Amino acid sequence: GTASANSVRDTFVRYFREKHGHREVASSPVTPRADPSLLFVNAGMNQFKPLLLGTVDPRSEMAGYKRVVNSQKCLRAGGKHNDLEDVGRDLYHHTFFEMLGSWSFGDYFKEEACSMAWELLTQVYGIPEDQLYVTYFGGDAALRLSPDEETREIWRSIGVSPGRLLPFGLGDNFWEMGETGPCGPCTEIHYDHVRGRDASAQVNAADPEVLEIWNLVFMEYNREADGNLRPLPRRSVDTGLGLERLTAVLQGKRSNYDTDHFTPLLDAIRMGSGARCYRGLVGAADTESVDMAYRVLADHARALAVCIADGILPGMTGPQLVLRRILRRAVRFSSEVLHAPPGLLASLVPTVVETLGDVYPELTRDVTQIMDVINENEEAFMSSLVRGRRIINRTLERSSGAQTFPVDVAWSLYQNLGFPLDLISVMLEERGVRLDSAGLEQREREETESRQPGSEVTGRLSVHAIAELQRNGVPTTDDTPKYSYT
């Protein structure tokens, strides 16, 4: 295929705007507006939540929206939808991604939504029908929700064969925005990279050959704080299609990273690091995690640029803390796996802006500021990273053969050197050692209980922590940071 990432996005928007009278609405920033139930915008529908709930200010422009289309900047790195751990490991989950969306707010419902989606995929984009599967909600006895037979019949009449039409339960086919908020049964379209076979058992099975591309949600309920489902005042359609996945499908690639959303970034990483070429290997085949490092860096550079442009800076709470985790993960892969000089991560920002700046112009406002923030934060973490690496190595030497890492040491790395726990876990995994997450959770509980209310974690290596490291046989004299790292 030859369709560029930009043309794939344009075709989607134009199909709904020109053929079906949808109004194009700009992406909202990734910072949720006045919504404490979210860390980041995690779906296109977030900005329309008041419209779905029927709480929209009737004088606002949004109140008049009936049919809408857009391309939304999304982040899934914290809260209910959190894909951070998968990023770099697989080829189709990102922290930042673009969600193409179409909506009907109390206008058309299931039948039109399904026909539009099918026509766009099979007629406009030209995806062969025998590479698609469709799932629908199979009901839930405990919640007294019946199977969505109506949707099943709609797909049958569109021509989807029974063998390609599969029911799933709450986990896959009942979409919820967060712990509370709009939700409802959904029907999803999955793509099989291999043609002419029965892969129905591979749908929703974390199989890289058969992946979900489009989710059509029939918004009918609000999940209340007490867990109950309250019917919404009117029924709406909310769809979300992952642009990077769709582009990969249309460009005939198995990996999102082999599309022009990412290839300029992989090239820049190669130029800036001098590491061997990206080969696209995953899992055990990626022996030194070099390919994973490429993917993590490319992904995280996009997430950092987008968030910083929207005013989220790496910090100590909420979305800021998540961004700090993302940054530290990227810095670590850059320095320890690619052996790149400091500054590589920030140097990727102009490439991110080249690929995304036309669609999301806020990225172009102050490229230097984005780079400065990344460089300052990288610098602040580098000396901790070096110290932490030394502590990890010594601990592993002392406990060679052990399957799990001492909880106290991991806790000190986290508490005193600002190592995100997920990062420690990746660093240990490369050495065949596990982090004792149950032990760490226990430790965190004890720590929270003993902490004086109002007292703050300073990030300074405390006397207590030094004692702990020494108990574990870790020399601490030259590992003691003089500053707090935040």
For residue 304, the SS3 value is helix
If one asks whether residue 137 binds ligand ATP (CB under 6 A), the answer comes out as no
Minimum Å gap between C-beta 184 and Mg ion is 13
If one asks whether residue 40 binds ligand ATP (CB under 6 A), the answer comes out as no
If one asks whether residue 178 binds ligand ATP (CB under 6 A), the answer comes out as no
- Considering only the stretches 123-131, 213-221, 250-258, 362-370, report the one whose residues sit in contact with Mg ion under the rule CB under 5 A: 213-221
Helix (H) or strand (E) holding 104: strand 96-105
**Euclidean distance between CA atoms 179 and 182, whole angstroms:** 10
Both structure tokens of 6: 């930009």
Our CB check for ligand ATP shows the closer of 219 and 409 to be 219
Our CB check for Mg ion shows the closer of 256 and 335 to be 256
- Considering only the stretches 195-203, 210-218, 228-236, 478-486, report the one whose residues sit in contact with ligand ATP under the rule CB under 6 A: 210-218
Instruction: Pick from 88, 138, 242, 319 the residue near ligand ATP by CB under 6 A.
Output: 242
- Which residue reads 């982040």 in tokens? 75
- Considering only the stretches 126-134, 215-223, 334-342, 352-360, report the one whose residues sit in contact with Mg ion under the rule CB under 5 A: 215-223
If one asks whether residue 220 binds ligand ATP (CB under 6 A), the answer comes out as no
If one asks whether residue 42 binds Mg ion (CB under 5 A), the answer comes out as no
Minimum Å gap between C-beta 467 and Mg ion is 42
Neighbours of 349 (CB within 10 A): 26
Measured between its terminal Cα atoms, the distance across the chain in Å is 46
Instruction: Pick from 73, 110, 245, 328 the residue near ligand ATP by CB under 6 A.
Output: 245
If one asks whether residue 139 binds ligand ATP (CB under 6 A), the answer comes out as no
* HSE-up (13 A, CA, CB side) for residue 422: 18
Minimum Å gap between C-beta 475 and Mg ion is 43
For residue 115, the SS3 value is helix
Both structure tokens of 471: 């108990």
**Euclidean distance between CA atoms 260 and 424, whole angstroms:** 32
- Nearest Cα neighbor of 96 from 271, 290, 350, 299 is 299
- Considering only the stretches 209-217, 304-312, 439-447, 475-483, report the one whose residues sit in contact with ligand ATP under the rule CB under 6 A: 209-217
Our CB check for ligand ATP shows the closer of 93 and 152 to be 93
x/- track of binding to ligand ATP for residues 87-106 (CB under 6 A): ------xx--x-x-------
For residue 179, the SS3 value is coil
- Considering only the stretches 9-17, 107-115, 213-221, 267-275, report the one whose residues sit in contact with ligand ATP under the rule CB under 6 A: 213-221
If one asks whether residue 215 binds Mg ion (CB under 5 A), the answer comes out as yes
Distance from the Cα of residue 406 to its chain's centroid: 30
* HSE-up (13 A, CA, CB side) for residue 237: 27
**Euclidean distance between CA atoms 230 and 221, whole angstroms:** 5
Instruction: Pick from 48, 83, 139, 202 the residue near ligand ATP by CB under 6 A.
Output: 83
Q: State the DSSP code for 430.
A: T
If one asks whether residue 302 binds ligand ATP (CB under 6 A), the answer comes out as no
CA dihedral sign, ordered 66, 70, 72, 76: positive
99 binds, among ligand ATP, Mg ion, none (CB under 5 to 8 A by kind): ligand ATP
Minimum Å gap between C-beta 95 and ligand ATP is 7
Minimum Å gap between C-beta 323 and ligand ATP is 16
Our CB check for Mg ion shows the closer of 187 and 215 to be 215
- Nearest Cα neighbor of 413 from 396, 391, 435 is 391
**Euclidean distance between CA atoms 160 and 370, whole angstroms:** 47
**Euclidean distance between CA atoms 238 and 231, whole angstroms:** 16
Helix (H) or strand (E) holding 429: helix 421-429
For residue 436, the SS3 value is coil
Instruction: Pick from 9, 67, 73, 76 the residue near ligand ATP by CB under 6 A.
Output: 76
Minimum Å gap between C-beta 129 and ligand ATP is 18
Phi then psi for 255, rounded to 5 degrees? -130, 135
Please name the residues in contact with 395: beta carbons below 8 A apart, sequence gap of 6 or more.
405, 406, 409, 472, 473, 474
Minimum Å gap between C-beta 94 and ligand ATP is 4
Minimum Å gap between C-beta 86 and ligand ATP is 7
DSSP for 246-292 reads HHHHHTT-S-GGGSTTTHHHHHHHHHHH-PPPP----GGGSTTSHHH
- Considering only the stretches 204-212, 244-252, 338-346, 458-466, report the one whose residues sit in contact with Mg ion under the rule CB under 5 A: 204-212
302 binds, among Mg ion, ligand ATP, none (CB under 5 to 8 A by kind): none
244 binds, among ligand ATP, Mg ion, none (CB under 5 to 8 A by kind): ligand ATP
Q: Where are the alpha helices (DSSP H) in 430-462?
A: 437-450
138 binds, among ligand ATP, Mg ion, none (CB under 5 to 8 A by kind): none
Q: CB of 186 within 8 A of CB of 151?
A: no
Our CB check for ligand ATP shows the closer of 213 and 385 to be 213
- Considering only the stretches 45-53, 210-218, 277-285, 447-455, report the one whose residues sit in contact with Mg ion under the rule CB under 5 A: 210-218
- Which residues form the interface with Mg ion (CB under 5 A)? 212, 215
List interacting residues with ligand ATP (CB under 6 A): 76, 83, 93-94, 97, 99, 175, 212-215, 240-242, 244-245
